Structure 1
Amino acid sequence: MANDAMQAWKKKLRQIYGVYTGIFLIFVIALWIGENMGLQQKYIGYAFLFGTIGVYAAIGILSRTSVVAEYYVAGRKVPAIFNGMATASDWMSAASFIGMAGALYLQGYDGLAFIMGWTGGYVLLAVMVAPYIRKFGQFTIPDFLEARYGGKLPRMIGIVSAIIVSFAYLVAQIVGVGIITSRFVGIPFEAGVFLGLSGILVCSFLGGMRAVTWTQVAQYIILITAYMIPVVAISYKHTGIPIPQVMYGQALQVIESKQKALVNDVKEIEVRQEWKKKAEELNAKIKELPESWQKGKTELEKKLKNLPTENPERTKAEKALKDYPKTPEEAKEKWTATMKEAQVMSKPPKSYVSPPSDTKGIINFLALTFCLMVGTAGLPHVLMRFYTTPTVREARSSAAWALFFIFLLYFTAPAYAAFARSEILTNIVGQAFTSLPGWVAKWASVGLISIKDMNGDGIIQFSEIIIRADAVVLATPEIAGLPYVVAGLIAAGGLAAALSTADGLLITISNAISHDLYYKIINPNISPSTRVKIGKALLIVVAAIGAYVASFKLAIIVELVAWAFSLAAATFFPAVVLGIWDKRMNKTGAVTGMIVGLLITTYYIIGSRFYGIDWFGIKTIAAGIFGLPANIIVALVVSRITAAPSQELQEFVDSIRYPKGAVKGGVEE
């Protein structure tokens, strides 16, 4: 009977989401027809933004619940294929949808570290962690840490780590939401962040993991459709074959040919000299701090004071003063970042398809790949998804489905990057500044694209174009001259990616506080309904704090996400994996290792990003390369010099590792 009920449930879900997909495609086609009939672009943007958020809100309302098991783990009745879609949606954040192709656009071969690390990490997760986490049951990763190691201390360390890791990741998603809403609704970034916040909350507030799961399935359908359509259209436009994953090799040939020609181009050399001069000027200002900061501020204030109110230059001066660093410390950070960018722009473009040629580049490539891989297998919001399946078998199947759904996007990202760079080199470089397309000003208004005539010749040089990583996917449809409805579609996809991951992260953080901290440690006698109410209240508080922090745009999306992965790699991965595969690992070793890994990684992230600390040339985004081995070494050593876990805990490890019916030591369990 149970099996018949599950089959009927699967059939009903297929019908519901089949109809949903059909309606969404009709909606896109209707907007395309409307554009051809003169529908204004802003209304297309409104339709995609508010239409999709409205659908997510409806799912959230229909999935509302106060039942603890439904709120925390969706009642453990999510079929494998749908859990795979939800996991993929949860996993493919704004970094995957918005940032990854941008990283490949800017870095070429070096950007493959993101694809290799994230994809390989998911294989690691599926093989070494996911089925065993599901067999354990319960609701959260701190639940597992307490049950595996005993006592409240492992839970507390897990709570702190989950909040830090998830919050860094959450801020990145909210930044992505702010970028999309500000560009396609025409509001300031800061306002876009809080508008997007409402979209995040409607998906998760009323129904917790139950609402988030079914919303994430809907979001995956939108994000993968939105990601594929533009690049398929571009591939057909350039090659006549709508299979970008196969045909982007032609774009790579164009890129290599044109970039080689740029190396010795006289005008390009002039622009690179201007960048070099700017870098030297900034370096001098940094050395003269704080006097240079005070001098610049005084000059701006004096200029503003001498400008009449009606003078159009006054608005520019007011903006310049508003954007001027508030302190010498802030000036040092901003000027250093700008100086490094100028130094990069002053160099001729390197081969787009060649691997790193120097030892430092190779080490950073491998370090980042490794951190992303092990961080993937330690992310608490992803691990939680495997608690929602009915059985261990379904957990294994859902991991395989999720990997397939993730593959569809990851296999396409290099094509996106290549076609975008080819479009810029072919259709933008060499054009007159007087004929700049309209999309440049639109994306410049949100700070993601800058094109300035550095050498004053009136012609656009490649070295005069700055495109941020976060703009590439969102702007490519407009760069390629596709209908605006395609740009709106991809904005809806980016929004779906950011919202889906943000929902999962919000649930993780609120659960860490309401379930793991308050219920499990502070007040075990609290009623189930009160637990759920506290969780809902915390969703609002955490989302508001995340939006406030995101409004400062601390770093690009990919950088923020890489920090989260490094922190997860240095904290959760060793504790969870050693907890499953090493029966000798005890509480003292695991807790000490997690603390050491967290402190070392956090120290290097902050130090390398803001204070110039440099260990072996490793970049800040690969900070986990120091915390992870430190965690493992400390955990193994401490666990070996302290008392072994009890026989009961060792039997608990066996019960997780060996599924029912498995053969252990020649004897069937």
Structure 2
Amino acid sequence: MIAARARFARLSRHYLYFTGCFGAFLLALAILEKQGMPRVWIGYLFMFATIVLYAAIGVFSRTSNVSEYYVAGRRVPALFNGMATAADWISAASFISLAGGLYLRGFDGLAYIMGWTGGYCLVALLIAPYLRKFAQYTIPDFLAARYAGGAGGRGTPVRLMAVGATIIVSFTYVVAQIYAVGLIASRFTGVDFSVGIFLGLASILVCSFLGGMRAITWTQVAQYIIILVAFLIPTMWLSAKHADNPLPHVAYGAVLPKLAAREAQLASDPKELAVRAIFTQRADAYAQRIKALPASWEAGRLDILRELDAVRRRAGSLIDIRATERRLAAYPKTADEAARLWADLQAANLARALPPEPHATPFPGPDREQSDSRRNNFLALVFCLMLGTAALPHILMRSYTTPSVRETRVSVFWTLFFILLVYLSIPALAVMVKYDIYTQLVGSEFSHLPNWVSYWASVDKQNPLIAIADINRDGIVQLAEIAIDGDVLVLATPEIGGLPYVISGLVAAGGLAAALSTADGLLLAISNALSHDVYYKVVDPAASTQKRVTISKLLLLAVAFSAAYVASQKPADILSLVGAAFSLAGSTLFPALVLGVFWKRANHIGALAGMVSGFAVCTYYMLHTHPILGGSAAGQWFHIAPISAGVFGVPAGMAVLVAVSLLTRAPDALSNSFIDHIRAPE
């Protein structure tokens, strides 16, 4: 007890000293900016300083001890484990995309906050204490022991199925984090997006490669401090700007009515109506082209060929020739491809033709049916995020790192506390940024657009993160003329609010910390599952501890570079990728975990059948309904969006697990004794 208190006091001193040094670093950069330091150097200093910091922690925490590498020696105090878990949890989706999602979706975006925070209550009540009582290394470890019934080999199929689920869920999730790393690095260093992705891997790999869970834990505590400071400073600044109150939770209520009044004004503004009418006409034109296929596709291709030939014959400029050639290269190669592309463009124009939805109105819709559909999707998403949270392997792994079951319960409390410090400010930030754009940017002249618009438009030239075009050619920015990606909103907040550039660098450092902290945990979950549960438990049970750790490190490298390659292809937006991961986790792992703790009749055949069924139903629904995966919205069940596929996968997995368990032989006494052990009071 005395040693634990001394350790806690020492850690507290170290991180208080770190916080003070970070504050001094911010102050120094603010002074240097005042003195005329170029912005690009401020961006470089933030990126370089934070990455060096994380690398230094990784080097000092390096280890080859199995217990330290997998579970940080089970010596992490509850408070610091809560901070590390919060950093692990506040991913790029939370820090970068969640406020953007609320900006774009209004009330519907609250489903993410409700689902993710509610999921931690399930973790605390249903799973975390029992995992800590089990006191092993991975989630497949727990499921294999629970469903093996003490008979050794019978746990192997369950273990391998759990490993497969861990890899698929974590890989999907980590791609989103690495995508965010590339976004931040490309904006604040000027490198190409794909190059930024691989540069960001350096910090991830130094921490997780050298020290495993030990290095990741102490890095994540430092990252949480940066995340908290980076998120609250611009939020409090905007609160003071728009409501004369630095407390965002109070300012939120004052700004929301002003935003509602501005939304109503823009909905009936004649210039806005004119721009939306142009988008409606464009959508109708695409509808006519789709209706006239394949003749319209052939005619469009011939028009570009004739234009290219005419430019060449009149010896046009090289710029004109290259522009026409690019148009020809981008033109659909077949009539079927044209049908898909034009349908997407028609839908995009129809969406921009709609008036702005009231931010605070729950489930708005033109009729009761559509309003009910949005409500059902909101509830389905909350359900999937809650159960997915309670089954995410990289989060549940942190239950193993505390000294005792009691410390695990306290750690979950601190995790919720530290998460809510950020999460309760996110809706306020979304409202204040929205009000700023609606009042400052909308109505301004195109000749005087703020610099941040061109900065962010140039980050990704193929898929611009923000685009503003003078659709009605009046020289004035209308709301309908602005297209903004939700992933850019928080990173651009300091520039939108007119804050010093040093705050932009701070926010970038916070976003980078959020992405890296989660990526570290996810990569470790994948490599540990492969090295411990596949290599050590199945392939080579006689492997030495040194060999096990080495194998884990090599696998971590392979997975990291694979995820970076996939992220460089920009498969989807961050929130969509994360939502898919949660549905898959809930459908595959949640029934087996919860019933494994609370229902003694669950057996290994039932667990296997439930995991396979949940995964199959969830995956089928995503493939069948998500356009990016080749599906169609016409295939949706009860109009539920593919991101909420877990609303079908979880009940399917649960029902099959129960039915198969009841139809097959009951678990033996060893399985029951295992349950009695993990459920016994400490």
TM-score by length of 1: 0.95
Kindly indicate whether the alpha-carbon contact (under 8 Å) linking 2:384 and 2:582 is maintained by their aligned counterparts in 1.
Answer: yes
Provide the residue aligned with 1:135 in structure 2.
133
Provide the residue aligned with 1:511 in structure 2.
528
- String of CA shifts for 1:95-150, please: whole Å, max 9, x gaps: 00011111111111111101100011111111111111111111000001100001
State the SS of the aligned residue for 2:542.
Answer: coil
Residue 53 of structure 1 aligns with an amino acid whose one-letter code is I
Provide the residue aligned with 2:368 in structure 1.
none
Write the mapping of 1:540-579 to structure 2, written as runs, cut at 5 A.
540-579=557-596
Provide the residue aligned with 1:372 in structure 2.
385
2:355 to 339, 348, 357: 348
Separation in structure 2 between the aligned mates of residue 512 and residue 338 of structure 1, nearest angstrom:
43
Write the mapping of 1:515-534 to structure 2, written as runs, cut at 5 A.
515-534=532-551
Separation in structure 2 between the aligned mates of residue 326 and residue 524 of structure 1, nearest angstrom:
54
> How far 1:527 moved relative to its partner?
1.4
Structure 2 unaligned segments of length 5 or more: list them.
Answer: 149-154, 365-370
Provide the residue aligned with 1:96 in structure 2.
94
Provide the residue aligned with 2:431 in structure 1.
418
> How far 1:210 moved relative to its partner?
0.9
% of aligned pairs identical? Answer: 52
Write the mapping of 1:250-289 to structure 2, written as runs, cut at 5 A.
250-286=254-290
Provide the residue aligned with 2:658 in structure 1.
636
Kindly indicate whether the alpha-carbon contact (under 8 Å) linking 2:275 and 2:471 is maintained by their aligned counterparts in 1.
Answer: yes
- String of CA shifts for 1:332-367, please: whole Å, max 9, x gaps: 655544433322211111211011141101100100
Question: CA distance change for structure 1 residues 482 and 113 in 2, over 3 Å: closer, same or farther?
Answer: same
State the SS of the aligned residue for 1:450.
Answer: strand
Residue 339 of structure 1 aligns with an amino acid whose one-letter code is Q
> How far 1:196 moved relative to its partner?
1.3
Separation in structure 2 between the aligned mates of residue 134 and residue 36 of structure 1, nearest angstrom:
51
Separation in structure 2 between the aligned mates of residue 24 and residue 323 of structure 1, nearest angstrom:
48
Question: CA distance change for structure 1 residues 348 and 550 in 2, over 3 Å: closer, same or farther?
Answer: same
> How far 1:386 moved relative to its partner?
0.8
Separation in structure 2 between the aligned mates of residue 388 and residue 515 of structure 1, nearest angstrom:
17
Separation in structure 2 between the aligned mates of residue 462 and residue 490 of structure 1, nearest angstrom:
26
> How far 1:314 moved relative to its partner?
4.9
Is 379-388 or 291-300 further displaced after alignment? 291-300
Provide the residue aligned with 1:626 in structure 2.
648
> How far 1:401 moved relative to its partner?
0.3
Separation in structure 2 between the aligned mates of residue 186 and residue 38 of structure 1, nearest angstrom:
20
Separation in structure 2 between the aligned mates of residue 58 and residue 400 of structure 1, nearest angstrom:
29
Provide the residue aligned with 1:666 in structure 2.
none
Residue 80 of structure 1 aligns with an amino acid whose one-letter code is A
Write the mapping of 1:376-455 to structure 2, written as runs, cut at 5 A.
376-445=389-458, 446=460, 447-455=464-472
Question: CA distance change for structure 1 residues 289 and 540 in 2, over 3 Å: closer, same or farther?
Answer: farther
Is 1:339 the counterpart of 2:339 in the alignment? no
Kindly indicate whether the alpha-carbon contact (under 8 Å) linking 2:243 and 2:255 is maintained by their aligned counterparts in 1.
Answer: no
Separation in structure 1 between the aligned mates of residue 126 and residue 509 of structure 2, nearest angstrom:
34
Residue 70 of structure 1 aligns with an amino acid whose one-letter code is E
Separation in structure 2 between the aligned mates of residue 200 and residue 285 of structure 1, nearest angstrom:
48
Question: CA distance change for structure 1 residues 256 and 645 in 2, over 3 Å: closer, same or farther?
Answer: same
Residue 21 of structure 1 aligns with an amino acid whose one-letter code is T
> How far 1:296 moved relative to its partner?
5.5
Question: RMSD over aligned Cα, in angstroms?
Answer: 1.9
Separation in structure 1 between the aligned mates of residue 362 and residue 493 of structure 2, nearest angstrom:
25
2:11 to 13, 35, 39: 13
Is 1:583 the counterpart of 2:600 in the alignment? yes
> How far 1:303 moved relative to its partner?
5.3
Residue 249 of structure 2 aligns with an amino acid whose one-letter code is Q
Is 1:40 the counterpart of 2:38 in the alignment? yes
Aligned length: 658
Is 94-103 or 648-657 further displaced after alignment? 648-657
State the SS of the aligned residue for 1:118.
Answer: helix
Separation in structure 1 between the aligned mates of residue 614 and residue 291 of structure 2, nearest angstrom:
34
Residue 651 of structure 1 aligns with an amino acid whose one-letter code is S
Separation in structure 2 between the aligned mates of residue 586 and residue 55 of structure 1, nearest angstrom:
47
Provide the residue aligned with 1:59 in structure 2.
57
Question: CA distance change for structure 1 residues 320 and 116 in 2, over 3 Å: closer, same or farther?
Answer: farther
Is 1:168 the counterpart of 2:156 in the alignment? no
Separation in structure 2 between the aligned mates of residue 327 and residue 125 of structure 1, nearest angstrom:
50
- String of CA shifts for 1:209-249, please: whole Å, max 9, x gaps: 11111111111010111000001011112222110111112
State the SS of the aligned residue for 1:354.
Answer: coil
Separation in structure 1 between the aligned mates of residue 43 and residue 178 of structure 2, nearest angstrom:
19
Provide the residue aligned with 2:195 in structure 1.
191
- String of CA shifts for 1:129-183, please: whole Å, max 9, x gaps: 1111111111000001100001201001101100100011001001111111111
Question: CA distance change for structure 1 residues 84 and 640 in 2, over 3 Å: closer, same or farther?
Answer: same
State the SS of the aligned residue for 1:152.
Answer: helix
Separation in structure 2 between the aligned mates of residue 286 and residue 528 of structure 1, nearest angstrom:
63
Residue 111 of structure 2 aligns with an amino acid whose one-letter code is A
Is 1:491 the counterpart of 2:539 in the alignment? no
Separation in structure 1 between the aligned mates of residue 26 and residue 405 of structure 2, nearest angstrom:
38
Write the mapping of 1:582-621 to structure 2, written as runs, cut at 5 A.
582-610=599-627, 611-612=631-632, 613-621=635-643
Kindly indicate whether the alpha-carbon contact (under 8 Å) linking 2:239 and 2:247 is maintained by their aligned counterparts in 1.
Answer: yes
